[in-house]
Amino acid sequence: MNIRNDVQKALQHLLGNTAIPQQTSNASEALNGEKRLLLGKVLRLLGEQHALIQVGNQTVQGKLETQLRPQAYYWFSYEKKTTEQTGRLQVVQSFDQNPKTIQDAAGKLLNAISVKPSNTALMMTGAMLKSKTPVTENDIKTAVRWMDTLPAQDTKKAIETVLFALKRDLPIHPEVLSGVHAIKSPVPLHQHVSQLLQAISQSPQQSQMMAKLKEAVTALFNSEIEIHAERLIEKLISLTDNTKAPSSGNTAGNRELSTPAGSPVKANLPPVNHTAEQRSIQEEPIKNAADIPIKEARQLLTKLTESAEKNSLQIVKEAANWIKAAALSGDGKSPAASAVLQEARVTDQEAEVFLKAAQQTAPSLADKADVLSFLSKVKMAIGARDELAFIKAFEQGSSVTPDDIQSIKLALHAARASHEVAEPVKQEADQLFHKLNGQLFMQQDHPSYSQIVMSFPLFSKSGAQDMTVLFKGKKEADGKLDPSHCRLLFLLQLDTLKETVVDCLIQQKVMTITIETDFELQAAIDPMVPTLKQGLKEMGYSLSGVNAKKRIHPEEKTAIDQYITSISDQEVDVKI
């Protein structure tokens, strides 16, 4: 299922068929079935009230509703039904002479459609003229109204947003434009999430909807520490029952943590999200298992279970709370950590064992299994496929109920429409909602290739703040993506290297990697290449090289839309 196309159709249904996504080969096809405005030059009259009109570098034929002069310029309203051989041309505005400037042409058009020719409107309409893209009167009016809501310093990016939407045949609607515009913003995703959580916490107005929103945002924040908690519980369980292997039911990437028969933990363990490639206790020996006394491990499991039941939490969430409390001091002796452990009646010896186990099971973003597990959990917390719920709500004219809210996308959607949410929280929710939804409009699905974009907010001590992944791959005969011919682009916000781009180009299972930063990194990267080459070889790929590239203009912020635009029109093959 193509989520982007489904969302577009839902938007069109909701907005009254604002636009029809389609691939067009010429101006006539682009105008079928819809009235469009276009600036055209009359090349010649064809007789029987027909004329040949030049629009940009293409031509259209139309039946005249007004007498025209050859070689003159006019703003036309052009409408062509699919059953007609030629469309109908109606003059909206004529020029006594060729427009002297683009701004002059834009001004006359705005006057003709009764739009105030403000500086913003003139710039936007002028940009449309330069792009030579047919537009509707409603497109212009909607774009002008939307741009009037933005700060003056955003005008340039806003114009780029409108042109991008026109080029992609996206509906020219404020929600769509705001989504595309948010992708162009340099504000990282993790910052939007942090600001939203702060706004919720500081708001004096609390409600059920606010609580649901906070719960969804907190789940996203806690993704990494919950992975840590799952690892910790796995370790404690394995120590208390070394004779029992973990469940082999890894179907669909899910399994339950195995526990000893009769263990009090068994009934409280939720399903843990793993992929087939993630570590299992059976396959990978627990590090330094001999350092953890079995007796204390069993007691910790029991007390974790009792504490989780007392606080009405899953055991993984209770373990995460213990880890967070201990992390505040690093030694578990801070007042906060002591209070949490003392409330669970954990002895000093058990506390030391807990800290040692927590240190040994801390996830690492350099570990493949941890990364896969973390990204899977973040994707679920965001609600990467919850657009389907929006579509259902759009089509049925209903809204998402609080009981249905599981992910941050659904929570944001519900909060924006609720009267129970404070205005400062709504403003932050809007920003995050558009940032997440804008990714959908950056995606493409063609018969020969697919392009997917997704951002992951990272709240890690590992030095990574955000990660955006752009995947573009060829399709095989059955429609599946071909991993031997594709391109993976990672945009990372790192504490030390700042904006970092990792470009992986794969052609016939040969990978070429380019890393772009503000620094000279080649000497630091070269010693790591042999290990990387061996790892890729084990996966069935070969490495042609890793090239470090210093950014020419470091003051220019890295933006995903730059790379989307630069590779969108390229086929994924040996010519990339």
pLDDT tens for each residue of the chain, 576 residues long? 444 555 555 544 544 443 333 333 344 444 445 567 666 677 777 776 777 777 655 677 777 666 666 766 666 777 777 676 667 777 766 665 556 677 888 888 888 788 898 999 999 988 987 887 778 788 889 999 999 999 989 999 999 999 999 888 888 899 999 999 998 887 888 889 999 999 999 998 888 889 989 998 988 888 888 999 999 999 999 888 754 444 333 333 333 343 444 444 443 444 444 333 333 333 344 444 557 888 888 999 999 999 999 989 899 999 998 888 877 555 555 566 678 888 888 888 888 888 889 888 988 877 788 888 888 888 888 886 666 555 555 556 555 555 555 688 888 888 888 889 999 999 999 999 999 888 888 877 777 888 888 888 876 665 567 788 888 888 888 878 888 888 988 888 787 888 889 999 999 999 999 999 999 999 999 999 999 999 899 989 999 999 999 987 655 554 555 655 554 444 333 222
338 closest CA partner among 324, 356, 352, 326: 326
Q: Angle formed by the axes of helices 408-416 and 423-441, to 10°?
A: 130
162 closest CA partner among 140, 187, 190, 186: 140
The residue ranges of every structural domain in the chain are: 220-376, 444-568
The answer to whether 151 and 136 have CB atoms below 8 angstroms apart is no
Backbone phi and psi for residue 551, each to the nearest 5 degrees, phi listed first: -65, 130
Alpha-helix runs per DSSP H in 90-136: 102-112, 119-131
- Between CA 450 and CA 481 the distance in angstroms is 8
Within 8 A by CB and 6+ apart from 93, the residues are 74, 75, 108, 109, 111, 112
Look at residue 286 and give its three-state secondary structure: coil
- Written as six digits, the tokens of 21 are 């996504």
Within 8 A by CB and 6+ apart from 479, the residues are none
User: What is the pTM assigned to this prediction?
Assistant: 0.71
- Between CA 461 and CA 224 the distance in angstroms is 10
Q: Which class does domain 444-568 fall in? A: alpha beta
- Measured at the CA of 15, the angle between CA 439 and CA 81, to 5 degrees, comes to 110
- Between CA 534 and CA 406 the distance in angstroms is 41
